Amino acid sequence: MHNDFVPKELLNTDAHGQPMTAYTATVTVRLKGGVLDPEAETTRGALERLGFELDSLRSADVFEIDLDAESSADAEERAGEMAERLLANPTIHDYTVAVEER
């Protein structure tokens, strides 16, 4: 079915016809304090050799996830579940989730 023939109001609905909104969830994953961060240590050393002064440096991975959800809370919950199940290892990582409407 072409989207040209589907009424716009039906394009972003769930299986029950409930309206869905397009969101971007940003999941930032960092190593917990006290966990060795070799990438950050290497980068910190390189920055210091270039003459930059800094107290500390931590690396992070950022994932941007585009999804449709009934609410921003639903989008945040789903992105959090993705982080818990795959994107982060809860034993060594902390993560944050930020959601904004697209």
CATH of the domain at 31: 3.30.1280.10
Residue 96 belongs to a domain:
yes
Q: Which domain holds residue 39?
A: 20-101
- Structural domain count of the chain: 1
Which residue matches tokens 């990582």? 93
Asked if residue 58 is part of any domain, the answer here is yes
Q: What is the mean pLDDT of residues 48-52?
A: 99
Asked, for residue 4, whether it belongs to a domain, the answer is no
DSSP 39-64: HHHHHHHHHHHTT---S----EEEEE
The band of 17, judged by pLDDT with boundaries at 50, 70 and 90, is: confident
Residue 11 lies in a domain: no
Q: Is the pLDDT of residue 1 over 60?
A: no
Judge whether residue 9 has pLDDT over 60.
Answer: no
Is 5 inside any structural domain?
Answer: no
Mean per-residue pLDDT, 46-64: 98
pTM of the model: 0.82
